[in-house]
Structure formats: C-alpha cells, structure tokens
Amino acid sequence: MAFGRRRPAEEAGQSADTSDEQVEAAEAAEAETADAAEIEGGPWDSEEAHPEIQRLDFGSMQIPVAPGLGFQVNFEATQVDEEGNPLDGRPVAVLVQYGESAMQLQVFAAPKRSGIWEDVRRETARDITEEAGGQTQEGEGPFGPELLAMVPAALTEEVLAEMPAEVKEQIPAEFIEQGWAPQIIRFLGVDGPRWFLQAVVQGAAIEDEEQWQVLEDVFRGIVVSRGDAPMPPRDLLPLEIPKEFSEGGDEEEENVQTFDPFERGPEITEVR
C-alpha cells in the first residue's frame, strides 16, 4: 500500500476550473514517484516484483554485481580431522568487498507473523557490551533501525604483519603499544516475509559516503528466496555457490573472485 498525493482538484481551496492538462501532469508526476519508490523499495522477496539487474545467485540470496565489487563465501566447518583441521563445511555468509570496506550478508528464517530484528538488535547490543567490552548506539538508517558498535580489536603481531603498510601507518602508536584499537561496526537488518536479512559493515564505509553508497545499493538490490520448507526461526537459510565460483565457471568473470573455502577472510563480527 502506498500513500499518494491528492490530485490538485482535491486540494482544499483548489479552484474548480483546474484544467485537464494540470490533472494529467499531476497524475504523471504521481506515477513517476510511485515507480521511483518501487525501485528504491528493496531488499526484495523473490515472490514480489523487483528490478531485473545482474545478480550472483547464492541460492537463498541473489546479490547485485557492480564494478569494483569482490565476493567471498565464508564457510563453517562441519567435519574436522584429528588435529582439528576442517575437512568439510557449509557456506554460512557472503562477504561483499569494495575498496577498503566489507559487508557480511546472512539470511535467516523468521516467524510468519513477526520479525526478529528488534530482538536480534537487543541481543547483539548486550553481547557487545557485556562480553566484548564494547559500546553500542541505536539509530535510524536508510533501512530503519540499526546498531552502531565500537569494539576493541586485537592488534597482535600476526595481524599487524598481514596488514597493508598504508593501513598500518594510520594506526596511532599508542594503539599498537597497547595491543588493541577501537573498531567501528555497523549492523543493519530487514525483516521480510518469513526471513530476516542482516548486514554487518566495517571498514572505510563507516565514514566514507562514496564507499557506503555502493554497499547500500548492493544491500537494497538483494533478492531473498525463502523457499517453502519449514525452518525454525533464526536458522540460516541454505546458501549455494554461484556457477561463477565453480571450477567450470569463467574465472575471468568481471567482479567475481575465486576462493579457498577455508581461507579466512577479513575479520568481521558474525551474529548467529
């Protein structure tokens, strides 16, 4: 349901001799506004009309592709050997990378008659403050309520050794000496029909409007395929590996990165 503007003839105090041309112009403007609202209305459910753009198909999520984007699938081990090394696993999240920014995407089952974002947001804030020693603040974003968190991030010798030199140079000396630095993380959530989509953003996009706008457009363009199978609320919807990631796919496909299933990607808080 959409709320449209009243036509000129309906406005209080409007002259009764409003021309047909004025009415037609107003109706055309309303139609353009409605079309724009429809385009801006994502993330989408697969059962509703949505813009047809290029997307990677991860099964329960179809994620837009755009210049400069990189993709990585995060796995959770389901089998390990005697030494604890992973032998098999299942995909649990998709990491979208752009510039110095990363956005982790997960989609969960949700109750039919109510969303879970409010509860997840509250539980996430509690875990961050009580267990991680961080701070949180709620606010309103382009997709509704969201959570901004500051958590202490470890700066071990291993982390510093893998860090790009240009990034390491920007870290204040006192943070390196104390072995940790504050890390800002942004949590976004959208409740859909029997699903909940969560994004966890970190990196330059926290403050860089250009990088954030790219990630926002990706999030807004996601299409969720819930499926008909009954699932307990908060269970992860199953993810699949796009054909572009398979050995038989085109490794030259623009904007798509191949991956080692158990290679750790950029560290990003995951809420399960």
- Return the closest-CA partner of residue 120 out of 60, 187, 183, 185: 187
Q: How far apart are CA 137 and CA 130, in angstroms?
A: 14
Which region among 58-67, 138-147, 219-228, 246-255 has the lowest average model confidence (pLDDT)? 246-255
CB 94 within 8 A of CB 58: yes
Confirm whether 269 is domain-assigned.
Answer: no
User: Which 3 state secondary structure label does DSSP give 46?
Assistant: coil
Q: Check whether 249 has a pLDDT greater than 70.
A: no
How does pLDDT run across 71-108, given as a tens digit for each residue?
999 988 777 777 777 667 788 999 999 999 999 999 99
- Return the closest-CA partner of residue 202 out of 154, 261, 153, 258: 153
pLDDT band at 154 (very low <50, low <70, confident <90, very high): confident
Confirm whether 173 is domain-assigned.
Answer: yes
Q: What is the mean pLDDT of the chain?
A: 78
pLDDT at 177: 77
Confirm whether 262 is domain-assigned.
Answer: no
pLDDT at 39: 41
Q: Check whether 265 has a pLDDT greater than 80.
A: no
Confirm whether 2 is domain-assigned.
Answer: no
Starting at the edge strand found earlier in the chain, the sheet holding 55-57 runs 44-45, 223-224, 61-64, 55-57
Confirm whether 253 is domain-assigned.
Answer: no
pLDDT band at 191 (very low <50, low <70, confident <90, very high): very high
Q: Check whether 190 has a pLDDT greater than 90.
A: yes
Report which listed range, 74-83, 121-130, 146-155, 159-168, is most confident: 121-130
Structure-derived torsion over alpha carbons of residues 107, 109, 111, 116, reported in degrees to the nearest 10: -40
pLDDT at 41: 81
Report the domain count for the chain. 1
Q: Check whether 31 has a pLDDT greater than 70.
A: no
pLDDT at 225: 96
pTM, rounded to two decimals: 0.73
pLDDT at 21: 58
Confirm whether 22 is domain-assigned.
Answer: no
pLDDT band at 219 (very low <50, low <70, confident <90, very high): very high
For residue 88, what are the domain limits? Answer: 55-245
Confirm whether 182 is domain-assigned.
Answer: yes
Report which listed range, 160-174, 186-200, 255-269, is most confident: 186-200
- Return the closest-CA partner of residue 182 out of 124, 125, 132: 132
Confirm whether 125 is domain-assigned.
Answer: yes
The verdict on whether omega for the bond into residue 51 sits within 30 degrees of 0, i.e. cis, is: no
Cβ–Cβ contacts within 10 Å for residue 20, how many?
A: 7
